[in-house]
Structure 1
């Protein structure tokens, strides 16, 4: 079978094998388009073949920047013998988990329940009617150290399917039935959410118990950024400022954010954050960079700036967005998904290595930064100062236990070892001079890095992750009063509306692709969006409205929330299903009950519904938010550490959102001064709105009370209200700031 693949000309002239994945758009699926495996994408053609030929399905799930997915492809899926075994005995389906998180969640739930672990690549064997009966993750190609290899596993499954099929099917059926019961999340009629202060206190205690004091973070190793934990801790502090627990919560968040920014998980040369740290000191990362991490960390750092006033945190937030604007941005306004951890080393050689794009030898640093610094102690060079500051060592600064595969021997991962003040003192130069030299060095190193073979870029643009990034640009731009960032946020919202909103069918689409490869015939139709696509975009639009006060974004948020309710709301038990219940190919209707690398869409929706009720006056959205929280009561009460973002929504319900209403003209300087005062403070439980008194406006139509709010003496005026019972109006920004800060102190008594 020979097919043309996107932009490469006839596949047969370049590749020995080409399969159906060559007509797909997912970068991950295209990576497997030339395997000697008869791959199918997830869809009816594959399902029908399995039924017609009565063959089991082999489902392989991964994503394009997954290190062990690359390893399993090299070892097994590019192996001619294994490829023939797979193609002859199974219907082989390759799935991008980022395109189809609904399918991934179902089978990952099965794998975790049957093997006690999970991860990617995920390997699952299914009956022709899609019911799983065996599952696992990565398999080595051949038997090794008592562990069966992939070929052995395939042979055993073929034998079992031929000789013991009823037992396989029966076992899978029993497990699936148990999962359906075990994953049900529902509220009883009239059930109320749990008490917010109790849940929040328990969440804090659980985080404090797992907190690692020396370097921050919430386990020893590996260590993940976990922005959901950090945002909860800062929100917890905001209503417990005068308590020892509140102070401790803030210290935990700020110390973690500082140590991450100084660590090797932060890319000091090219900005942005890597996926996680393999050690407890944030030094040696897994070098993959994910869009969702950048989005959430930018928000966490700008929040830390609001809380502390320390410019350090604002600089890190801007640093993250510089990386995204440069390396993860499409000219259409969308954002790409990820950069890979692996790349070809500068020295060449066979294959890619993790981190090759990012690491340095001492000789490279010395060769690049040879100039002697005038006035420095001991005729030090710029390299000497850089090497001291970033912990560079002749033998490399990566310990063997941090590099189990030996890919980083002799290399250095940059990590800030000393403050700029200490570095300046060590070499007898001013702090200003040290900052200048370090910045110059980083710029030179960035130029050199750009000549190296780049890691693979996953240019897939996901609606959900673009929604998270929209929030980041809007919130950082609003806090800093940075028009360029706000313009980029508007560009992102326009991208979502133009490329991922099917206005005819009133649905969000899950993804689109760079150039969109529309010249390539596609096997698979566009994928309708899932719950997280709607929830994260609605949140992004609400943040964009508060940043720009352009009501078109509020209007679209309202439209999307209505569609989300129709498509995903569980009328029986409350809360939202992750995917549309009408899709018969998805065997489990799940409600995500964990705020992990990304927040649960139900957690975000609980806040969205509450915020939307304030902007529209719709009591049904307030009730839906309460029903949702009630459905997750058991999880919130027992292990709130699993849902810190939902605990924040529960706290917002309890403390009641403040309405900060500015009466004024949107572009007037006096309005801008009041808005700047609002944005300078971390107010996790508020909505911000602008009214010019026009009764025909979007907000006044929904909230007629706004029409009665007027400017005092013809100047912009602020009202701080709760349930639209308002304090006396103020026109002075400092007075507004005091009023808002006093209000946060009042929360502690509620």
Structure 2
């Protein structure tokens, strides 16, 4: 088989298409490329990145567009490009391999050299400059040295590969767990204490710069606070403070887009001032839902404003007309990082009237030194109350001034060259945003957000599932691609459950059951419990991951377990609850060693120990509205509320919960215990005021 040049022109991924004109003979990861490597006996140069990645762009410009480096790559390697968002399975495997080989965390671009016969990594790194610079070896020199080492030291390569495969194999098995005795509530407290140890009590967040939001840790603190309210161990107000202080500082910082709404990926400093400017759908989904929960827990208007502005940004810039959400916005525009978001004081002053300018100058410190490459990235320096005192105006007038100024800044910024948008639709990330918008719409009574979530769900069901209902991972330009992984099914199942709480549909419940059954049939580890990242009929790879710990996203096992547990309690389905118990036992050892790294799994553990309270309301929507409003009145994260029309015909235990005549009724259950049907709103009020929140422990 002869080389066929650069084959990325037919890709669905915008990231791969960015490299379609490189002089490098890039191949997609497919049977044809792997066969080419075997037949020519050339090692594989594997490069993994994504379209919004700044350093991926830098390396592409410096090295992959350089004719001399491209010639070297083409002569000595079969070069494969992978979009880590389309192939999270490959990314996880080779990020893990990078960490084992280098003893350092990886990142993007991820650069590896693989053996041609079995795709085992021989060498791993991330970004390399084209020539030796700042103590970093040049990419061309690295390629020559690695190629020569493979040719001259075959036994050493074989020994290293054998050791790496052994290490990967060990990771594939669940660690010793201690059985049911390990499933106590001690990890819940241990995670809270570990988060407190790393908490920045001045600026919020955890650890030092660069600072990531870590929404899983913040959610764990909110839930821990809520748990202590009803178990007699609290209230743990410091847990609430750590969560809320972090959310407030992020909302006032530059990691939050003060003009357009939405969050960047992380902050390069401890103050949340200067972000890495890329905006990812997944990060904003997690934070949108989290801020909605924080508003529900505290009533703080700042959190509601952040939810409103972020939801507006999602719908304006990320939602597709036919439904579904795009993946990301680039960090760069016009050849510079963050250029779209930066201002000079003169630019701002020209757009605003005098009162608006005085407020914006004071609120954002535009009379102070520039904070990013000679320009200003907006970061709140003074609260509305402080500005009100400074300007001698009522606070409400100051807030109104900012709203009018913000609209003018939005319109002006909209005329700039926009950052590139990765417009592919990812099933997993859409599942996260569907869940977030459905929950936020329900809690803040914004039907348009719920409608957006339901439209996206319909898009995924129509465009990203085959005739048998098996999911694809990605869709773009009319083409679905790549077999879905654990996260696709788990995140989408959680999104469907949130949609069911917002608007019941028997058909939608049927889809949830299909997703749940596919998890059990195709992804479950039938021997040890828990779930593999890939299905049992997935392409064979060098490693089959079992994701337990959170990274930038909640682990697939965690979301699968908590969604199955909620669905199991809703329907009284023992198959789902047994899978949860086995999965938690399989993860118990990992949780015990580092509970704070498994924050999402701790939600599943918490709801195993303290089963969720399921409130099912039956009746006509026009009369059940107040009932659902009352059930959602307080922040009770372990409570799920479903309002079913009188004519709904769901399966399982729900089928027996019927109303008598036109009057509504409610059933309140916790675990396997249900109270007698509630027939009046006053009675529902009394029942919900005294939850049956008993531990199985």
Same fold at TM > 0.5: yes
Write the deviation string for residues 490-544 of structure 1: whole angstroms up to 9, x where unpaired. 1011011111111x2331010001x33x6xxxxxx82111110000000000110
How many Å apart are 1:738 and its aligned residue? 5.2
Compared with structure 1, are the counterparts of its residues 244 and 560 closer, same or farther at alpha carbon in structure 2 (3 Å cutoff)? closer
Among 320, 325, 334, the residue aligned to 1:330: 320
**Residue 95 (1) aligns with residue 78 (2):** no
> Contact between 2:504 and 2:645, CA under 8 Å: does it hold in 1?
no
Write the deviation string for residues 15-66 of structure 1: whole angstroms up to 9, x where unpaired. xx97211111100000111111011000111111111111111001101111
How many Å apart are 1:617 and its aligned residue? 2.1
Q: Which residue of 1 aligns with 2:499?
A: 544
* Alpha-carbon distance between aligned partners in 2 of 1:545 and 1:506, rounded to the nearest angstrom: 19
Q: Which residue of 1 aligns with 2:668?
A: 720
> Contact between 2:285 and 2:432, CA under 8 Å: does it hold in 1?
yes
Among 678, 686, 703, the residue aligned to 2:631: 678
Q: Which residue of 2 aligns with 1:688?
A: 641
State the SS of the aligned residue for 1:59.
Answer: strand
How many Å apart are 1:639 and its aligned residue? 0.5
How many Å apart are 1:690 and its aligned residue? 3.7
Q: Which residue of 2 aligns with 1:615?
A: 570
State the SS of the aligned residue for 1:501.
Answer: coil
Q: Which residue of 2 aligns with 1:278?
A: 268
* Alpha-carbon distance between aligned partners in 2 of 1:555 and 1:574, rounded to the nearest angstrom: 25
How many Å apart are 1:586 and its aligned residue? 1.2
* Alpha-carbon distance between aligned partners in 2 of 1:575 and 1:723, rounded to the nearest angstrom: 21
Among 351, 362, 365, the residue aligned to 1:368: 351
Compared with structure 1, are the counterparts of its residues 552 and 681 closer, same or farther at alpha carbon in structure 2 (3 Å cutoff)? farther
Compared with structure 1, are the counterparts of its residues 54 and 311 closer, same or farther at alpha carbon in structure 2 (3 Å cutoff)? same
Among 409, 417, 430, the residue aligned to 1:466: 430
* Alpha-carbon distance between aligned partners in 1 of 2:181 and 2:16, rounded to the nearest angstrom: 42
> Contact between 1:193 and 1:627, CA under 8 Å: does it hold in 2?
no
> Contact between 1:215 and 1:281, CA under 8 Å: does it hold in 2?
yes
Q: Which residue of 2 aligns with 1:349?
A: none
Residue-pair matches, total? 691
> Contact between 2:114 and 2:120, CA under 8 Å: does it hold in 1?
yes
Q: Which residue of 2 aligns with 1:83?
A: 70
> Contact between 2:628 and 2:643, CA under 8 Å: does it hold in 1?
no
Among 71, 76, 79, the residue aligned to 2:58: 71
How many Å apart are 1:394 and its aligned residue? 5.2
* Alpha-carbon distance between aligned partners in 1 of 2:520 and 2:568, rounded to the nearest angstrom: 14
* Structure 1 residue ranges without an equivalent (≥5): 1-16, 345-351, 374-381, 399-407, 519-524
Larger deviation, residues 314-323 vs 167-176: 167-176
How many Å apart are 1:714 and its aligned residue? 4.9
How many Å apart are 1:166 and its aligned residue? 2.8
Q: Which residue of 1 aligns with 2:550?
A: 595
Q: Which residue of 1 aligns with 2:215?
A: 227
How many Å apart are 1:356 and its aligned residue? 0.4
**Residue 111 (1) aligns with residue 98 (2):** yes
Q: Which residue of 2 aligns with 1:573?
A: 528
> Contact between 1:133 and 1:172, CA under 8 Å: does it hold in 2?
yes
* Alpha-carbon distance between aligned partners in 1 of 2:116 and 2:333, rounded to the nearest angstrom: 38
Compared with structure 1, are the counterparts of its residues 178 and 749 closer, same or farther at alpha carbon in structure 2 (3 Å cutoff)? closer
* Alpha-carbon distance between aligned partners in 2 of 1:245 and 1:278, rounded to the nearest angstrom: 34
* Alpha-carbon distance between aligned partners in 2 of 1:372 and 1:580, rounded to the nearest angstrom: 61
> Contact between 1:534 and 1:560, CA under 8 Å: does it hold in 2?
yes
Write the deviation string for residues 145-199 of structure 1: whole angstroms up to 9, x where unpaired. 44321111111112112222232132122212122114422577x9327334211
> Contact between 1:481 and 1:676, CA under 8 Å: does it hold in 2?
no
* Structure 2 residue ranges without an equivalent (≥5): none
> Contact between 1:187 and 1:627, CA under 8 Å: does it hold in 2?
no
Compared with structure 1, are the counterparts of its residues 736 and 259 closer, same or farther at alpha carbon in structure 2 (3 Å cutoff)? farther
* Alpha-carbon distance between aligned partners in 2 of 1:111 and 1:168, rounded to the nearest angstrom: 15
> Contact between 1:131 and 1:173, CA under 8 Å: does it hold in 2?
no
Q: Which residue of 1 aligns with 2:170?
A: 181
Among 360, 381, 400, the residue aligned to 1:417: 381
Q: Which residue of 2 aligns with 1:125?
A: 113
* Alpha-carbon distance between aligned partners in 1 of 2:657 and 2:32, rounded to the nearest angstrom: 61
Compared with structure 1, are the counterparts of its residues 692 and 549 closer, same or farther at alpha carbon in structure 2 (3 Å cutoff)? closer
**Residue 359 (1) aligns with residue 338 (2):** no
State the SS of the aligned residue for 1:295.
Answer: helix
Q: Which residue of 2 aligns with 1:388?
A: 362
Compared with structure 1, are the counterparts of its residues 505 and 725 closer, same or farther at alpha carbon in structure 2 (3 Å cutoff)? closer
Q: Which residue of 2 aligns with 1:144?
A: 133
State the SS of the aligned residue for 1:743.
Answer: coil
Q: Which residue of 2 aligns with 1:506?
A: 469
> Contact between 2:288 and 2:440, CA under 8 Å: does it hold in 1?
yes
* Alpha-carbon distance between aligned partners in 1 of 2:581 and 2:438, rounded to the nearest angstrom: 27
* Alpha-carbon distance between aligned partners in 1 of 2:452 and 2:602, rounded to the nearest angstrom: 31
Among 643, 646, 663, the residue aligned to 2:598: 643
Compared with structure 1, are the counterparts of its residues 691 and 332 closer, same or farther at alpha carbon in structure 2 (3 Å cutoff)? closer
State the SS of the aligned residue for 2:188.
Answer: helix
Q: Which residue of 2 aligns with 1:320?
A: 310
**Residue 707 (1) aligns with residue 656 (2):** yes
> Contact between 2:267 and 2:274, CA under 8 Å: does it hold in 1?
yes
* Alpha-carbon distance between aligned partners in 1 of 2:142 and 2:689, rounded to the nearest angstrom: 62
Root-mean-square deviation over aligned CA pairs = 2.2
How many Å apart are 1:652 and its aligned residue? 0.2
* Alpha-carbon distance between aligned partners in 1 of 2:63 and 2:278, rounded to the nearest angstrom: 23
Among 259, 269, 283, the residue aligned to 2:259: 269
How many Å apart are 1:414 and its aligned residue? 1.0
* Alpha-carbon distance between aligned partners in 1 of 2:538 and 2:243, rounded to the nearest angstrom: 41
Write the deviation string for residues 201-225 of structure 1: whole angstroms up to 9, x where unpaired. 1111111111111121111211111
State the SS of the aligned residue for 2:341.
Answer: coil
How many Å apart are 1:727 and its aligned residue? 3.7
**Residue 134 (1) aligns with residue 150 (2):** no
**Residue 624 (1) aligns with residue 583 (2):** no
Q: Which residue of 2 aligns with 1:340?
A: 330
Compared with structure 1, are the counterparts of its residues 748 and 317 closer, same or farther at alpha carbon in structure 2 (3 Å cutoff)? farther
* Alpha-carbon distance between aligned partners in 2 of 1:692 and 1:266, rounded to the nearest angstrom: 40
Among 555, 559, 562, the residue aligned to 1:604: 559
* Alpha-carbon distance between aligned partners in 2 of 1:343 and 1:144, rounded to the nearest angstrom: 26
Among 477, 481, 484, the residue aligned to 2:445: 481
Write the mapping of 1:522-541 to structure 2, written as runs, cut at 5 A.
526-541=481-496
* Alpha-carbon distance between aligned partners in 2 of 1:484 and 1:267, rounded to the nearest angstrom: 22
> Contact between 2:608 and 2:696, CA under 8 Å: does it hold in 1?
no
Q: Which residue of 2 aligns with 1:289?
A: 279
> Contact between 1:573 and 1:631, CA under 8 Å: does it hold in 2?
yes
- Taking structure 2 as the reference length, the TM-score comes to 0.95
* Alpha-carbon distance between aligned partners in 2 of 1:748 and 1:432, rounded to the nearest angstrom: 46
How many Å apart are 1:277 and its aligned residue? 0.9
State the SS of the aligned residue for 2:481.
Answer: coil
> Contact between 1:187 and 1:630, CA under 8 Å: does it hold in 2?
no
- Taking structure 1 as the reference length, the TM-score comes to 0.89
